[in-house]
Structure 1
Amino acid sequence: MARTGNDPVAVIGLGRFGTALALELVRNGTEVLAIDSQSKIVQGLTRQIPHVITADSTDIEALRQLGLPEFQRAVVAIGTDIQASIFTTSLLADMGIPDIWAKAINGRHGDILARVGAHHIVAPENDMGERVAHLLSGRVLEYVEIDTDFAIIKTKPPGDIVGVPLREARVRKRYGVTIVAVKPQATIPTGEPRFTDTTPDTVLSYGDLILVQGTIENIERFAAAE
């Protein structure tokens, strides 16, 4: 798969969670290699996901043929087949993939996934596929969906609003979002910096952390800004 601005993501297991994750990543412009062992599921997604393939993820040769060792990020979203989930995660770790996310159906499952090489454990009841997709994009550090079309994210400011007061940056007019708080990157004399409310006079710096609220569409547009 060709490299784009965002490194491609392999999503293995296309149940409810894996499908939601893969589709959201595609919508966000991330190249996705989606894999499932059931051809019927794969056929149903061919029009929505450009690279979707039927394969056995517990077969290391199959994974190698698909180029999995070249991926930097992979998500094991396999559902109730715990053995396949653990084995697949272990194979990805053996391949040296540096950022492995794995879905766990319970705490014990999550512990095992972490032991065999998963770097992030996802509990679907707490982490929906769409939220994980935003985190995987790299620009969003935290993502909380408040309502069906409204969210708050933690991210870093894009360059076009750095160095000028927020009133001059016109974030609300340009992006339709509101920057509600900022945590400076630089250490301050009173100790560790904390989030504080923004004002029209707030000037952001590269590396600051900001909390931004707005509709999901506008939040995504803001997070994609350079």
Structure 2
Amino acid sequence: MKKQFAVIGLGRFGGSICQSLVKQGMEVLAIDISEDKINKYANIATHAVIADSTDEDTLKSLGIRNFDHVIVAIGDNIQSSILTTLMLVEQGVRHITVKAQNDYHEKVLNKIGAHKVVHPERDMGVRIAHNIVSKNVLDYLELSDEYSIVELMAGETVNGKSLIDLNIRAKFGCNIMAIKRKEEINVSPTADELIIQGDILIVIGADNDLNRLEQDLFNDED
């Protein structure tokens, strides 16, 4: 069976999630208080309704508790975001993901029972900052306050060297999870695996260790 999703708030973030879920073949209920936004997504989402998500009776009438996953993507109205999340928790929604505007907002959302809180603007800022510092950093994903996964493109510095030559785990405390080469991906590569310029290394580690690794081995000059 297809999973059923509800997306509340159809700004850039919510609208993007709505479109992506539909492309993946999911059933999506799009909810927004704005008629213009609902008209925009009426032919994209499975269903699209104008509704006030802070109204308990409205959410009940939509059968919101029957959805597998509800994403609260309300924009700048923090109060509406919090009230909506509280209503969803009280109605027993199985999985609730909420967009936070700031750290205080996140703390409140966690306290009232949101299952996952995301910071799209902050997370994108982290990714862009790492990409600006080094052209070899392709992507950066925070796992926690201290650990991350990073995609690094191999340059001249590591070209032709094996993993045992680089000794990344011993020198930097990081682990190479996989190596992508064109269309192929090598998960858990062996120590004698040779790195070729242009390879993409997927590395996990503490942020400080990853920063040292980026600077020492993956910061080739233009």
TM-score category (smaller protein): 0.5 to 0.7
Between the aligned partners of 2:16 and 2:23, the Cα distance in structure 1 is 11
Preserved contact between residue 27 and residue 45 of structure 2 (Cα < 8 Å): no
Q: Secondary structure at the match of 2:121?
A: coil
2:185 to 175, 179, 182: 179
What is the CA–CA distance in structure 1 between the aligned matches of 2:121 and 2:25, rounded to whole Å? 25
Deviations 1:36-77 (A, max 9, x none): 011111011112223111100001111111110111211100
Q: What is the rounded CA distance, in whole Å, between the counterparts of 2:192 and 2:5 in structure 1? A: 38
| Aligned 8 A contact 1:180 1:198 in 2 | no
> 2:8 matched to which residue of 1?
12
Distance in 2 of aligned mates of 1:42 and 1:197? 52
Distance in structure 1 (CA, Å) of the matches to 2:192 and 2:58: 55
Secondary structure of the equivalent of 1:125? helix
Does residue 42 of the first structure (1) align with residue 48 of the second (2)? no
Q: Does 1:60 align with 2:56?
A: yes
Counterpart amino acid of residue 181 in structure 1: V
- Whether the aligned pair in 2 keeps the contact of 1:104 and 1:121 (CA below 8 Å) is yes
Preserved contact between residue 34 and residue 52 of structure 1 (Cα < 8 Å)? yes
Q: Distance in 2 between matches of 1:11 and 1:198?
A: 45
Q: Please give the residue correspondences for 1:194-213 in structure 2 after superposition, counting only pairs within 5 Å.
A: 196-197=189-190
| Distance in 1 (alpha carbons) for counterparts of 2:62 and 2:191 | 47
Work out whether 1:107 is the aligned partner of 2:113: no
Higher relative contact order (CA 8 A, sep 6+): 1
Normalising by the residue count of structure 1, what TM-score does the alignment of the two structures yield? 0.57
Shift of 1:87: 0.4
Inter-partner Cα distance in structure 2 for 1:11 and 1:125: 18
Q: Which amino acid aligns with 1:68?
A: I
Q: 1:28 to 1:112 in 2, by over 3 A?
A: same
Aligned to 1:33: 29
Specify every segment of 5 or more residues in structure 1 that has no aligned partner in the other structure, as ranges: 129-144, 147-151, 153-171, 183-195, 201-210, 212-226
Give 2:186's aligned amino acid.
Answer: V
Counterpart contact for 2:30–2:41, Cα < 8 Å: no
Aligned residues: 144
Instruction: Measure the CA separation in 1 of the matches of 2:122 and 2:187.
Output: 25
Distance in 1 (alpha carbons) for counterparts of 2:191 and 2:185: 7
Cα contact 1:180–1:197 (8 A) shared by 2: no
Structure-1 separation of matches of 2:50 and 2:18: 15
Please tell me the root mean square deviation across aligned C-alpha atoms, in Å: 2.8
Structure 2: gaps spanning 5 or more residues: 125-137, 140-150, 152-179, 194-201, 203-222
Query: What is the identity percentage for the equivalent residue pairs of Structure 1 and Structure 2?
Result: 39
CA distance in 2, matches of 1:199, 1:22: 44
From the superposition, tell whether residues 199 and 97 of structure 1 become closer, same or farther in structure 2 (CA, over 3 Å): farther
Q: Distance in 2 between matches of 1:65 and 1:177?
A: 47
Runs of 4+ aligned structure 1 residues displaced above 6 Å come to none
Residue of structure 2 aligned with 1:91, choices 70, 87, 92: 87
Deviation for aligned residue 1:127: 5.1
Equivalent position amino acid for 1:179 in 2: I
* TM-score (norm: length of structure 2): 0.58
